[in-house]
């Protein structure tokens, strides 16, 4: 069967352009791939066009808009997910218009489809007390409990994304002073994260117990499951939720967020640093953000920082007492006394 122009371009985009020229992560490629899997399903179900028959003549601006509407109404995706799908489509058509100049006009119309605005929500995070309750839960008398504690402490102290934690190898850890952990972020960008003394103690004990400091273990995953394989995202989430449920049961007086996911520890680290007065530029570097604009989102939700900033800008108020209004006092006389 002869490949259509759309199939050829999409294949080159996913297998050559994204990994070879853009150097994006495998997870980003999977996300973009899933977008077009959904689009193909939409075209087959709603437009009665089989995947092998789809060409650029059928991928119109109207069909893309119908696809986005279908995602929200039929698949019940959030606005964030809808916008992520649209971002993938924008990226593809920026590439496609250079490979197929004849679709330039239609590509520009598709690229001009706007993202949908969404309501700004609060950033879910844990307070310092809630974090302490969470770290109390693993049974450190067992080997698994000590591993789980080390995993959670490293996830918080480094502000790592869950995939960055999963990808950690023994060679990424430096225990000699200054103690650092090297994280590999989006686009394979590396950053060195200093870790605290207490965290270093927990990590060194875990690595010693599991013989990870021995020669020949440098390429071993830092954290692994019972099959000696790297954790998966669901595996890390399961560990966190197990101890989170225990913490909520043992501390019913504390008002915890409804759910816990790995990224909440990253949010918590950023907000705790901000509350401590750490410069936003340092927090940007710690989190691996390309632009400080991304990091500035935390400023919007740090009420303590807002309060201190308002107090610093608040003018000194005179302590002189304002004369009280008396019912039978002459109004002119009262006004004259007001500013004395």
95 vs 277 pLDDT, higher one: 95
Tens of pLDDT along 221-278?
999 998 889 999 999 999 999 999 999 999 999 999 999 999 999 999 999 998 888 8
Segment 282-311, tens digit of pLDDT:
999 999 988 888 888 787 776 555 565 556
pLDDT tens figures, 64-86: 999 999 999 999 999 989 999 99
Higher pLDDT among residues 94 and 280, named by residue? 94
Tokens for 179, please give them. 């103690």
Q: What percent of the chain has pLDDT over 90?
A: 70
| 289 tagged catalytic | yes
Q: Is 267 one of the catalytic residues?
A: no
pLDDT attached to residue 336: 64
Which of 169, 186, 217, 251 is an active site residue? Answer: 186
The CATH number of residue 209's host domain is 1.10.443.10
* Residue of 161, 200, 248, 272 marked active site: 161
Q: What is the pLDDT of residues 125-184, one digit of tens each?
A: 999 999 999 999 999 999 999 999 999 999 999 999 999 999 999 999 999 989 999 999
CA distances from 10 to 13, 57, 197 (A): 5, 14, 49
* Active-site residue (options: 13, 156, 243, 298): 298
Residues 209 and 68 in one domain: no
CATH number at residue 44: 1.10.150
Find the catalytic residue in 125, 266, 272, 284: 266
pLDDT of residue 81: 93
Q: Is 227 domain-assigned?
A: yes
Within a domain: 317: no
Query: Which two tokens mark 176?
Result: 């000699």
261 is catalytic: no
Of 281, 160, 271, which is closest to residue 223 (Cα–Cα)? 160
Catalytic residue list contains 211: no
Q: Are 97 and 43 in the same domain?
A: yes
């Amino acid at each position: 069967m002869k490949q259509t122009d759309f199939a050829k371009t999409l294949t080159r985009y996913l297998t050559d352009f994204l990994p070879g020229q853009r150097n994006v992560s495998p997870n980003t490629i999977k996300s973009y791939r899933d977008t077009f899997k959904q689009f193909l399903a939409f075209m087959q179900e709603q437009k009665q066009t089989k995947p092998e028959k789809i060409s650029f003549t059928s991928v119109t601006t109207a069909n893309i808009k119908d696809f986005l509407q279908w995602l929200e109404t039929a698949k019940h995706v959030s606005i964030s997910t809808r916008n992520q799908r649209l971002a993938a489509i924008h990226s593809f058509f920026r590439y496609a218009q250079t490979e197929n100049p004849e679709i330039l006009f239609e590509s520009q119309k598709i690229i001009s489809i706007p993202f949908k605005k969404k309501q700004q929500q609060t950033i879910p995070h844990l307070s310092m007390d809630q974090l302490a309750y969470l770290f109390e839960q693993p049974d450190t008398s067992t080997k698994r409990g000590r591993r789980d504690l080390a995993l959670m402490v490293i996830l918080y102290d480094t502000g790592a994304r869950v995939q960055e934690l999963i990808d950690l190898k023994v060679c990424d850890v430096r225990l000699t002073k200054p103690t650092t952990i090297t994280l590999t972020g989006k686009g394979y960008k590396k950053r060195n994260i200093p870790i605290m003394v207490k965290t270093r103690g927990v990590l060194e004990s875990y690595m010693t117990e599991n013989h990870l400091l021995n020669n020949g273990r440098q390429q071993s995953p830092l954290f692994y499951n019972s099959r000696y394989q790297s954790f998966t995202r669901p595996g890390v989430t399961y560990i966190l939720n197990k101890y989170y449920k225990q913490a909520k049961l043992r501390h019913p007086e504390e008002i915890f967020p409804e759910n816990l996911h790995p990224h909440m520890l990253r949010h918590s680290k950023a907000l705790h640093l901000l509350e401590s007065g750490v410069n936003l530029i340092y927090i940007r570097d710690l989190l691996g953000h390309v632009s400080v604009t991304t990091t500035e989102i935390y400023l919007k939700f740090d009420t303590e920082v807002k309060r201190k900033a308002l107090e610093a800008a608040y003018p000194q108020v005179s302590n002189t007492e304002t004369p009280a209004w008396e019912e039978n006092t002459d109004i002119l006389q009262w006004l004259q006394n007001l500013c004395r």
